[in-house]
């Protein structure tokens, strides 16, 4: 059986082949089996945003923040997902948290 990283790479290859929705489906099976795989959740947040699946993007971006709470980029990505999903207050909160972590 393929490792989580091999499955992640396969999903990236599917995305690179222009089959984004299929890649999301592949990666969703990876996070179902490996719920603490922050990199896969991060990719899903970005990819779901591109598919206008904003609630899913926000869910995955939030999970990245749970898994990587000291990474300011995680909160920046959450801010983008929230903004695209129309959750402006949540986007501003996440961006403020990112900036605070960066000392600004």
Range of the domain at 66: 4-101
Per-residue pLDDT of 71-84, as tens digits, reads 999 999 999 999 99
Please state the φ and ψ torsions of residue 34, each to the nearest 5 degrees: -135, 75
Measured distance CA(97)–CA(94) in Å, rounded: 5
**What's the chain's average pLDDT?**
96
CATH classification at residue 66: 1.25.40.10
Q: What percent of the chain has pLDDT over 70?
A: 99
Q: Count of domains in the chain?
A: 1
- Dmax over CA atoms of the chain, in Å, equals 45
Alpha-carbon torsion angle 59, 57, 76, 35, nearest 10 = 50
Given this model, what pLDDT does residue 42 score? 97
Token couple for 79: 């801010």
Question: Looking at the whole model, is its pTM more than 0.85?
Answer: yes
Measured distance CA(35)–CA(72) in Å, rounded: 21
Asked whether the predicted pLDDT for residue 103 surpasses 80, the reply is: yes
Given this model, what pLDDT does residue 72 score? 95
Token couple for 28: 């969703």
């Amino acid at each position: 059986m393929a490792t989580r990283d091999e499955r992640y790479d396969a999903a990236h290859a599917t995305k690179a082949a222009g089959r984004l929705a299929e890649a999301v489906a592949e990666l969703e099976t990876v996070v179902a089996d490996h719920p603490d795989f922050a990199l896969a959740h991060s990719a899903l947040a970005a990819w779901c945003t591109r598919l206008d699946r904003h609630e899913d993007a926000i869910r995955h971006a939030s999970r990245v923040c749970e898994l990587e709470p000291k990474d300011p980029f995680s909160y920046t990505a959450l801010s983008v997902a929230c903004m695209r999903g129309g959750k402006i207050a949540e986007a501003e909160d996440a961006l403020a948290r990112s900036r605070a972590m960066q000392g600004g």
